[in-house]
Chains A and B, each alone.
Chain A
């Protein structure tokens, strides 16, 4: 260990890494190197390419350009197993533990110590116990993982990673689901591991943590490396500027909508996390959306943006309090059906999971939220449905053979239009959009922007959650920034800047 530190030979080098997905250049010439004992932070906006880079290192993506060198040897991983064997351990944001198995079983999953195919339980649990001890974890390896909190599960993931002698540890947003105390515990362990000579790549949105932990910081933006610098020579504002530093391009429709009456007033809405007791997913949020207005809700992943919309739409699994006024009347919304009846439409974040019935036709999806009105009260009337669906099909310029094309066959942008059509058909007056342009190519994005503008101009109130700062800045009349469920910033289109919004999103500056 002493030797490797003094020789200063990098543990890992990734040089000129490029990766393309259909329609998107996710990475373009990214380079990063990691020295033994170093904690190297990787930061960037959502979609900057961090996850893609990590997945290449983890052996998940095997097709890429550029070179990965580990301990001076060029490597090309064909599988996750290859990467693990080379000493790389990746702890993804979503934990990959089997909750029905014990801690020990999880740590050695797929690599159980065995003789002639018979699992050596004593050996397994004693080795697991030893590993947990090294991490300073006072935990019985026979405990079921389901009984552990998220923080402990995270540490079990790390133990699992280290169990195959990893020299390179990659953590993707490890504190996203942790309480402050749990995060402290994690930092202690990371420092300990770095002292043992393990190189750590630490991906996080939380700049305070990044500055506390890391020696160097690499900033990615739009799939390119912006800079790699020593943390001591930087401050948070500089990093934020590097993360967002780009011009809001001309893809957005011009402003100049006229704001009408208040349509949706949200007062002191609070939602309790259904899993973690005492945690508030949404903490006392108030805002107003007027007719003809686009309200942007910015914030990082896990900041409570989606939870806020779910709460307002009557389908958040936890307890929700606060009041909602629509068109001057206080309403109570406990179910999506009630939200729809009050004129709210919700284009959800995940089209495939919550938006569309992929097996069904475009028309069947369009009419799903308003069948009784559009078709008939008991018996459906296909002709009426077609008559109602066709204008939307044409106005939204959905590219498909006909209204009877199956939704699953469409491209992302066209699927999004179908979901939008569903809510336009339900005559929504308030439209919730959660990440409306995720996974959509640039051309279709621009089309969606224009559509949002048009809808607002026609008198709808639009509430839009987005991780993409340019989108929020370029499209929204007012911007609300959330951090850990709380409002940390309110801006109007005129006084918002990318740097300020990002500061509020990282919880640094409180301008509520």
Chain B
């Protein structure tokens, strides 16, 4: 009867991907999905703005919200790569704790400089990524198990090296990583650079199209491609400038997100991740070294988690033994809400970032309304399952 069941199962796989095809006609761009996400986020913000009498969207809170989103967002960018490859990492919350604690300790006891303590955190992140990625890809232990173990081990180490105590961050330059703002003028300069890059890249890509004998975009397409991102960038910078300027962690997040989007969409590594997650056998037959790619994905996630750990610690101004607890769930939820499939092969950095913004907005908005912690947890859990459920139903309809 094995045969019997194989037939319908196979055909349903075909139709499912056929449906996906209607929505996504390009590489993993997922434009329709991104618009839905933006709409959902706008709706959420509108609701919070109404119930908080506008406080939610005030310049101060918006700035604060973005700063909170930086940590979850940076981890989500790494997480989505691992998820696209068909793996998972449950240990990132603990790793945020461990790397944050390590930087605090080397500064507190040994008075390490900013750069050395940053390097220490990044080294730990990379080592953990390499270890977990290696056990997964070369050791063939499922990543769920490896990183579930990691969740306990890194948290245990964090508690061990800190003796359960919280350590303050004294170094002003370190605290600045989480707390400082770029001046308004700097923000505007960066904005100008960003706009120039957008315009240059559109024109450059268009000239490449011509050179390779493709139909160049018409004027409408060119202006659309320039105006969309530009408007977003202008609005973003002006909104942040209306409070105190761009927060440093937000700048780091934006850089990480852009780099992550570039890596997943415009590098061989990124393309291989999608192939491996989508169909590991086809990837293997195409000569791709699956294990090396998965290892690199875990290392990147470890690296980004270390950066998130540093920012988290700097923002709070101290490192505690429980820092980053449950962050892994927020990051995974962000990826999934942003359209990633835990089965692998699907997901985008843009989606993960929007998902992170969504999760953090929930936290922020509910805290503003003084919603009790336990209610927040219940609502977040409910929304996660509902969001994915709606997506599944939507796909089935199509």
Contact = CB atoms under 8 A, between A and B. Distances in A.
B286 interface: yes
B212 A384 contact: yes
Contacts of A341: 287
A94 B2 contact: yes
Contacts of A337: 287-289
Contacts of B185: none
A51 B17 CA distance: 28
Interface in B1-40: 1-4, 7, 10, 13-14, 16-18, 20-22, 24-27
A140 to B, nearest CB: 25
A174 to B, nearest CB: 14
Nearest to B6: A94
B271 interface: yes
Interface stretch (A3-11, A121-129, A350-358): A350-358
Given A354-B285, A364-B271, A359 B3 contact: no
Contacts of B20: 359, 406, 408
Question: Majority SS of interface residues in chain A?
Answer: mixed
A364 B286 contact: no
Interface stretch (B139-147, B166-174, B272-280): B272-280
Contact of A80 (B4, B10, B283, B285): B4
A352 B14 contact: yes
A358 B1 contact: no
B2 A95 contact: yes
Contacts of B270: 380
B21 A406 contact: yes
B267 interface: yes
Contacts of A58: 1, 4
Given A92-B3, A357-B278, A315 B284 contact: yes
B4 A60 contact: yes
Given A92-B2, A353-B281, A360-B274, A372 B268 contact: yes
B271 A371 contact: yes
Contacts of A360: 27, 274-275, 278, 345
Interface in A387-427: 387, 401-402, 404-409, 422
A117 to B, nearest CB: 24
B393 interface: no
Contact of B18 (A340, A368, A402, A408): A408
Interface string A463-502: 0000000000000000000000000000000000000000
Contact of A379 (B17, B26, B266, B282): B266
Nearest to A84: B1
B345 A96 contact: no
Interface residues of A, number: 59
A401 B275 CA distance: 22
A355 B282 contact: yes
A285 interface: no
A386 B208 CA distance: 11
B278 A55 contact: no
Contacts of B7: 60
Interface string A341-384: 10000101000111111111100110111011001111111111
A405 B25 contact: yes
Contacts of A387: 212-214
A409 B17 contact: yes
A156 interface: no
Nearest to B205: A383
A383 B274 contact: no
Given A92-B3, A408-B17, A380 B283 contact: no
Given A58-B4, A80-B1, A368 B24 contact: no
Contacts of A96: 1-3
Interface string B331-345: 000000000000001
A358 B271 contact: no
Interface string B196-215: 00000000010011011110
Contact of B26 (A339, A348, A361): A361
21 contacts: A313-B285, A336-B284, A337-B288, A354-B282, A356-B282, A357-B279, A358-B17, A359-B274, A368-B271, A368-B288, A376-B268, A378-B268, A379-B268, A380-B267, A382-B27, A383-B214, A405-B21, A405-B25, A406-B18, A406-B20, A409-B17
Top 7 A-B pairs ranked by shortest CB distance? A408-B17, A406-B21, A337-B287, A357-B278, A387-B212, A369-B286, A60-B4
Interface of B: 1-4, 7, 10, 13-14, 16-18, 20-22, 24-27, 205, 208-209, 211-214, 265-272, 274-275, 278-279, 281-289, 345-346
Given A92-B1, A92-B3, A357-B345, 20 more contacts: A60-B3, A93-B3, A336-B284, A337-B288, A353-B282, A354-B284, A355-B282, A357-B274, A357-B275, A357-B278, A358-B13, A361-B25, A364-B27, A365-B282, A369-B286, A371-B271, A379-B267, A383-B214, A408-B18, A409-B22
